[in-house]
Amino acid sequence: MSLAEDIKYDNFVWDALAANLPSSRRRGVGKFDININCPMCVSRGERRPDQFHRCGLKRNPTGLGINCFNCRFKTRWNVGEHLSQPMAAFLEALGMSDTDVKRIAHRALVIARTLGDHIVPEERIEYFEPSFKKIDLPLGARPIGELLNAGCDDPRFLQALEYLASRGSEIAVGYTYYWTAQAGDSMAGRLIIPMYFQNEIVGWTARDTTNTMERKYHADTPPDLLFNNRVLSDPFRKYVLLVEGAFDAIAIDSVGTLGAKLSDNQARWINSSGKIPILIADRDSSGVNNIEIALKQKWPVAFPRLASAGWWDADVKDVAKATELYGRLYVVKSIIATMTNDPYKIEVWSKLLI
């Protein structure tokens, strides 16, 4: 990345704010990432402190916004701007020392003066508010842990367990999988992976564990769904790692695109998160399609598979296999280390994947 791009994605004011949030914080309501009891209410004339978490905090790709629905306090900050007095007062009200607030304000001032017009302006984000209907899993599906405790000894169930164990520990214990013998022989030869939105099951995919079926996956998923989408609303993550398959996403606790090509709504949803998306493309035509989307959206793309990068062995084809061999931390580090948003590098390096 260029210096300006590095600065653009260095949301240091949000990082400082997040490190000083009270333990009573709650998951955000509506467009907000986090809701807290407003620390400004009394100083702004309210008779008693806020006790109903009416202050919303929203991280955007280049800064943050704050809005209290009780005392009407509002402030915002974006990279390239000075730290305003209201923002400084809010940070101090959270408990940050005067010295630390001044240090942050000085850093914002230096960036604004040094880069000036070279600061990449905040781009207008087209927000996407997803909505999905709750659905049922295949007939009789139960969590595999529950079936184990019940002493299920169906050979097809045991084969599903063996398959799961073969995928490595991060995948084997990283998710709650389901299985059923009541939905037909074909489904009994599959491991069911539920997909959630706001804690409700809204889709599922079932992986062949016999390696004999014509279709490796059988799925019921709505358009525009992103697997493991809870990551998008995690206020303490800087990056959103984008992979294609569910097992890849489980392996490194990332977001799965679930298709050969990201839809416009999926891209809007990802952009709405206020985090830095990093695409890790597969070695196939679908991977190339998603790289084209990343170029259009100006997202970084990571290339840990390239031999010249020196991170993964040449025969490692996906994130799930890399995690099995090297471990989650190493794989995430390899992704961050090899990401680039240089269009020329992305176009050249992507051709080396095929």
Instruction: Identify the CATH number of the domain defined by range 229-351.
Output: 3.40.1360.10
User: CB burial class (10 A; 0-12, 13-18, 19+) of residue 222?
Assistant: middle
Q: Give dist(CA 133, CA 128) in Å, integer.
A: 16
> According to the model, what pLDDT value does residue 274 have?
78
Q: How confident is the prediction for the chain on average, in pLDDT?
A: 89
> According to the model, what pLDDT value does residue 119 have?
53
b/e 285-300 (16+ beta carbons within 10 angstroms → b): ebbbbbbebbbebebb
> According to the model, what pLDDT value does residue 100 have?
94
Question: Beta strands 276-280 and 255-256: pairing type?
Answer: unpaired
Instruction: Write the Ramachandran bin of 234: left for phi over 0, alpha for psi from -120 to 50, otherwise beta.
Output: beta
DSSP assignment letter at 302: E
Phi, psi of 342 (to 5 degrees): -80, 115
> According to the model, what pLDDT value does residue 8 have?
60
Q: Where are the domains of the chain?
A: 3-118, 142-220, 229-351
Which of 10, 33, 29 lies closest to 21, judged by CA?
33
Contact 316, 322 (CB under 8 A): yes
> According to the model, what pLDDT value does residue 284 have?
60
> According to the model, what pLDDT value does residue 2 have?
56
pLDDT per residue, tens digit, the chain (354 aa), is: 555 566 666 789 999 999 999 999 998 887 788 999 999 999 999 999 999 999 999 988 778 999 999 999 999 998 888 899 999 999 999 999 999 999 999 999 888 887 665 554 455 556 677 899 999 999 999 999 999 999 999 999 999 999 999 999 999 999 999 999 999 999 999 999 999 998 999 999 999 999 999 999 999 999 999 999 999 988 778 899 999 899 999 999 999 998 778 999 999 999 888 788 999 976 665 667 889 899 999 899 999 988 777 899 888 888 999 999 999 999 999 999 999 988 888 988 888 776
> According to the model, what pLDDT value does residue 252 have?
97
Which of 109, 9, 110 lies closest to 59, judged by CA?
9
> According to the model, what pLDDT value does residue 286 have?
60
Residue type, 18: A
Contact 216, 206 (CB under 8 A): no
Question: Beta partners for 192?
Answer: 178, 206
Predicted TM-score (pTM) of the model is 0.73
pLDDT digits (tens, 9 = 90+) for 277-334: 999 976 665 667 889 899 999 899 999 988 777 899 888 888 999 999 999 999 999 9
